[in-house]
Structures are given as C-alpha cells and as structure tokens.
Amino acid sequence: MHLPGTPTKHASLALLLGALALSAGCGREASTPTSASAHADATTQEAVASLGDARVRASVVPTARIGEAVARQYGIEPSADTVLLLVGVRTGPEMDETALPASIAATVQDLRGVSQQLELRRIDNGGLIDYVGTARVAAPDSLRFDIQVTLGDGRRTELRFSRDIYPE
C-alpha cells in the first residue's frame, strides 16, 4: 500500500532521471537536444533481471548530469569522468513494490579491457534501498557491467549489460 509522502516503486530512479531531464534541457542549443536526449536515454535505460518474485533493476548515469541535491543524497561528486551505477532489488506488485536487502558486487570493463571493481554503498531512501557506486570513464567509451546479486535467502542472479558513454 502506498502511503502519501512515501516513495513509490521507482521513486529514487525517477528522482534521478527527473533531475537528469531537467539538467539536460538547460543551456543546450536548439539544434542539439535530439541527439543529446537520445544519448541520455540510451545511457540511463534500465537493465532488469528477475529472481523469482524479485526484480533487480540497474541504471547508469554520467555524474556530470546529476544535480546538486541528488549528488548529495547519493554521496557523490559530479564529474565529467565518472558514471553512477544505481541498483535496486524490489518485490511485489508494480505500484506497491517493497525493497529487498541484498549483497551486490559489481565490476565494469571498458573497451580497452580495463576492469574496475565497484564499491557499492547501501542508501536507505525513505523505505526504499538502493545500492550506488561510481566508475571512472574516459568518454566516449562503451562500458560492460557485470552485477552479482545475492538475496538474504541465498537466491542469486547475475545482470550483465553494456552502456555507451558520450562526452558531456
């Protein structure tokens, strides 16, 4: 049941993507929004895996696109050479999801084959739990993410996806 004033199913991701949409439109020339927004949409597209009745959602956002308030909330420093990985595990019906605590490990590899082990931090966000970490990137690049998720009951899944990162 959704209580007024509490986050809904994707509240933290929606907040982050909403902040991006606002910042993406500011200060751009009229001829660039289509390509800029297409790049932003492709980068922030959610990757999803199912684990029984649980869903794992992951998204990647260049930190330079993140507003001050969101950066503070997630404890990150916006920069042209980092991306934020945001992972959430949820269960329940679409409009009444519940966050599930999990153990999450993530690595990212760039086109040169350089790998980074990401340190993910748990963020408790008004009843929802997100796991966030940052990776260094020299745009343009294509990053391959490999995320291992273990739920408290021992169930495991892996989520693998790639995202193209463009210069800001």
d(CA 64, CA 121): 19
For residue 6, being part of any structural domain is answered with no
Look at the chain and report how many structural domains it folds into.
1
d(CA 3, CA 92): 15
| pLDDT tens digits in sequence order for the chain, 168 residues long | 444 444 444 444 444 444 343 333 333 333 333 454 444 555 668 999 999 999 999 999 999 999 999 999 899 999 999 999 999 999 998 788 999 999 999 999 999 999 999 999 999 988 899 999 999 999 999 999 999 999 999 999 999 999 999 987
The pLDDT of residue 148 is: 97
Domain of 53 in residue numbering reads as 11-165
For residue 63, being part of any structural domain is answered with yes
CATH number, domain of 30, equals 2.60.40.3340
Query: DSSP 3-state helix, strand, coil percentages of the chain (rounded to 5)?
Result: 25, 45, 35
